[in-house]
Amino acid sequence: GECSAFKERFMECLRRSGYESAACRQSAMAYLECRMDRRVAQLMANEPLEKLGFKDLINEKSEEKPEKS
């Protein structure tokens, strides 16, 4: 149940988008991150998000961060 809030956000996104999973990739990534972060509970093995098909979203996140001077 530790990741149920993430799962519910993902499922709600799917319902809103007519089950178009591409529209919910941010929610899917957050859900998978939650599962991997709670590896102690053996929910999911830790895998790089790039290998799971989220490389483009990772690049977007890093581009959004302001550079430190």
Q: Domain residue spans in the chain?
A: 1-60
Pick out the chain residues at pLDDT < 70: 39-44, 59-69
Q: How far apart are CA 8 and CA 53, in angstroms?
A: 21
pLDDT at residue number 16: 95
Q: Which residue type sits at 53?
A: G
Tokens of 53: 């098909």
3-state secondary structure the chain: CCCHHHHHHHHHHHHHCCCCHHHHHHHHHHHHHHHHHCHHHCCCCCCCCHHHHHHHHHHHHHHHCCCCC
pLDDT at 28: 92
